[in-house]
Structure 1
Amino acid sequence: MLPSPIQTLDMDAYRDQSTSLSCHEAECRKAALSLETTGCLYVRDSRVREADSNAFLDMLESYFAASDGKRDARPDLYYQVGVTPAMIETPRNHCTRASSLPLLHRPLTLCPPHADPKWRFFWRVGPLPPTPSKFQPLNAPPVVPPDYPNWSKVMDMWGGKMLQAVWGVAEAVAEGFGLPPDSFTRRMEYGPHLLAPTGSDFGRHGALGTVLAGYHYDLNFLTIHGRARFPGLSVWLRDGRKIPVRVPAGCLLVQAGRQMEHLTGGRVLAGFHEVAVGSETVEAIARRKAEGGSLWRVSSTLFSHIASDQVLRPLLGKGGGREGTATGEKSYPPLMAGELVMEELRAIKLGGE
């Protein structure tokens, strides 16, 4: 098997004040280049521990198995807090793009795409904006399921660790592109960051070839994942190659979303990905079933966002450059982050007309 082209950012080394300037700069450039060429980046961060991940996954496996998909749903808020049951979210139609790929690298998603059988739970991480947002449905307080006394504690613990990690990535990538370290993070302040565990029921949807999350990109800034207990995620590199993702032990996976694409003027593109049942998934299901474990696949995901009322505009010139040298506004005209999100939510059947 060829080595993965996705690079790894050592967050501990990045934070270490004793690290030499040249090593620090090299880590930042590596992180930026990996996002630019693959749309992805692995992150090693000792603050994010496997025991914490397991506590989170155990709780969410129990929740998805018991939820009726109604009590904790908030369709009036475009499902941006609470639960989203299966067969609601529908990927955008990217059939023209998919059909242009070599046969070996095409997604399994049907054309036109059907609604996904996956579930989600959105839990806001971090404080609400100090002043009312123009996009209040995107900035609603979290929904707390009453049957789980430790829900808020576990969700805030894991969501806080994930947000802390992606915050550091945002700083490192900004430096890697020659921007001030806070170029992205100051725009992330009071963003509607969402811890977004995604649940797939292998008791019903475990057949080989089943698409759990259709071919899509993410609408947010940076997405960060912990290790799932079942494989199934594939990503597309910028050159169109499809590769399965196996997150190394002790690492997290970061993917670029639409807001990152906008802020970099297309220097980084929102990465396409798909979750489907492959042969390794089937083997993992059989092992889990033999052990008597849950057959829910829960992704440990957080969507970081730019604050809804912040204006997105390219920060990079053609050669990288610094703030104020942007040249990509013809392709990426200024618009509020909330406007971009609402447009995408309507396209994937989560937003109103």
Structure 2
Amino acid sequence: MELKVIDLKAYLAVMDKLDGEPSKITEELGPELTRSCKEVARYLREAGAVVVRDPRCSEEENEKFIEMMERYYESPVEYKRPQERPDFHYQVGITPEKVEIPRLMVDEEMQEKVKALPKESQPATLVGSDLKWRYMWSVGPRPANTRFKELNGAPVIPENFPGWTETMNSWGYKMIAATEVVAEMAAIGFGLPKDAFTSLMKQAPHLLGPTGSDLKSYGQEGTVLAGYHYDVNFLTIHGRSKFPALNIWVKNGKKVEGSVPEGCLLVQTGKQMEYLTGGDCMAGMHEVVVTEKTTEAIKQALEQNRSLWRVSSTLFAHIASDAVLKPLSHFAESPLASNYPPMYAGEVIKQELAAMNLKG
């Protein structure tokens, strides 16, 4: 299915005035905005992704953020290693390349499902751990008391890197704000109270997590930078990368290019969203693979003497670690709801991280 861009501007103008039960809110929104909310919910359900435009998140700021991360990833390995925090399950600081294991490599049920896909929709063949680096930066307040301290670590700041904290926080807070609007619109589209999701996002371990892939070393067509997987959090949001390489899978199993139009953001469903909707919104499967379009972008970057690090402008929006994940409202009546027994969000995350070799 083609992902039409949903412009958040009209909803942003009225969101603070909305109050009351779902039926009253749809009256307040009017038919056009109600339809937009239902479209957001439909895309998350059917495609595991939605493309949005948020006037608060400019292309210029996305570029500024990516350029800063290019400078960081171009730094020597010995400069980056001190920011590694395996004791915090790599949920803050740097995760070096060849640490994270793609979910497909360790999930036998997923392997069987992939074999059943048509050949043109099967993911790229995996040969080992992911070749990407990733920096996890804590955005937003953390709880004073939590059962999951290792998932709620303080930000790690690289030494002598001008503008780091300001740039990370500026872009991070804007990306969280965008996911909160998508979460509200989705809740309304699903017939839930508007804060059904956002009330669970307060003091959550949101992470700005830009990946860095060295296309000078790994720029050959067909190279898997991040193997077939889903994200473990609630919603993942990406700005546009300079090097196209993302493939996503819609609910019917078809593989499509995860392209982000200029000035837009791509939002994907994670495992926590799957939990809260009782499997109605499945965690979106995706991979990052060097394609012909990637190699064309590499040639262009070489001609323009630009960085050959592919940076993803990515934020992982979470549910609070101490919140209980379970199917909400009418989703509890879903035939799949029994697959999602009540569990602390932090416990679900720890189980998922262990499977990916990230528990340190």
**TM-score over 0.5 for the alignment?**
yes
Q: Which residues in structure 2 correspond to 1:212-251 (within 5 Å)? A: 212-251=225-264
User: Is the contact made by 1:5 and 1:38 (CA closer than 8 Å) also made in structure 2?
Assistant: no
Aligned to 1:321: none
Aligned to 2:99: 88
> Is the deviation greater in 141-150 or in 173-182?
141-150
What are the ranges of 5 or more consecutive residues in structure 2 without an aligned counterpart?
A: 18-27
2 CA distance for matches of 1:89 and 1:7?
32
Q: Deviations over 1:213-271 (max 9, x none)?
A: 00000000000000000000000010000011211122100000000000000110001
Give the structure-2-normalised TM-score: 0.92
> Is the deviation greater in 218-227 or in 17-26?
17-26
Residue 101 of structure 1: which of 107, 117, 124 is its match?
A: 117
Q: Deviations over 1:47-102 (max 9, x none)?
A: 10111111111110010110424111001111110000100001123322211110
Alpha-carbon deviation of 1:325? 5.8
Aligned to 1:350: 358
User: Is the contact made by 1:7 and 1:34 (CA closer than 8 Å) also made in structure 2?
Assistant: no
Alpha-carbon deviation of 1:327? 6.5
2 CA distance for matches of 1:70 and 1:245?
31
SS in 2 for 1:167: helix
The number of residues matched between the two structures is 341
Residue 58 of structure 1 pairs with residue 90 of structure 2: no
CA separation of 1:16 and 1:203: change in aligned 2, threshold 3 A = same
Aligned to 2:20: none
2 CA distance for matches of 1:222 and 1:7?
18
Q: Which residues in structure 2 correspond to 1:147-158 (within 5 Å)? A: 147-158=160-171
Q: Deviations over 1:82-127 (max 9, x none)?
A: 00010000112332221111001100032xx510010000001101
Q: Deviations over 1:149-196 (max 9, x none)?
A: 210000000001100100100000000000001000010000000000
SS in 1 for 2:212: strand
2 CA distance for matches of 1:109 and 1:192?
32
Q: Which residues in structure 2 correspond to 1:8-87 (within 5 Å)? A: 8-17=5-14, 21-68=30-77, 69-87=80-98
Alpha-carbon deviation of 1:330? 1.2
SS in 2 for 1:52: helix
1:217 partner letter: Y
Aligned to 2:224: 211
1:72 partner letter: Q
Give the structure-1-normalised TM-score: 0.94
Aligned to 2:24: none
Residue 287 of structure 1: which of 277, 290, 300 is its match?
A: 300
Residue 128 of structure 1 pairs with residue 128 of structure 2: no
Aligned to 2:130: 116
Alpha-carbon deviation of 1:20? 5.1
Aligned to 2:21: none
What are the ranges of 5 or more consecutive residues in structure 1 without an aligned counterpart?
A: 319-323
Residue 330 of structure 1 pairs with residue 338 of structure 2: yes
User: Is the contact made by 2:226 and 2:289 (CA closer than 8 Å) also made in structure 1?
Assistant: yes
Report the RMSD for the aligned CA atoms in angstroms: 1.5
Moved over 4 A (4+): 324-328
